[in-house]
Amino acid sequence: MITSRLTTKAQTTIPQPVRAALGLRAGDEVLYEIDGARVVLTKVRVSSPGLAIDDPFATFEEWNSEADRRAYGEL
């Protein structure tokens, strides 16, 4: 069994054997699926068909122009 400890800021480190099993690297995203009293952790694969990730900013169009991309693209 592999465990990790939750910090006072509700953070934890994904243990190395889990990172290795999922092929996780710095910058990767993970998906949490709640199934009753269990949580399934999966590496997000952008090209996975049918994978719908809730993006709260997907509908924002206010700053979606070429001028904005030039001004803020490097941030």
Could you tell me the residue range of the domain that residue 52 belongs to? 16-72
For residue 14, give the nearest of 3, 49, 38 by alpha carbon. 3
Residue 19 structure tokens: 């990172």
For the chain, the residue count is 75
Residue 3 structure tokens: 């465990």
5: in domain = no
Q: Which pLDDT belongs to residue 68?
A: 80
Contact (CB, 8 A) for 31 and 42 = yes
Could you give the number of structural domains in the chain?
A: 1
Name the pLDDT band for 34 (thresholds 50, 70, 90).
Answer: very high
Extended strands (E) in the chain: 30-35, 38-43
pTM (two decimals)? 0.58
4: in domain = no
2: in domain = no
Residue type (1 letter), 30: V
- Dump pLDDT digits (tens) for 6-30: 999 999 999 999 999 999 998 889 9
3: in domain = no
The answer, yes or no, to whether residue 49 has pLDDT greater than 60, is: no
For residue 63, give the nearest of 55, 73, 54, 53 by alpha carbon. 73
The answer, yes or no, to whether residue 74 has pLDDT greater than 90, is: no
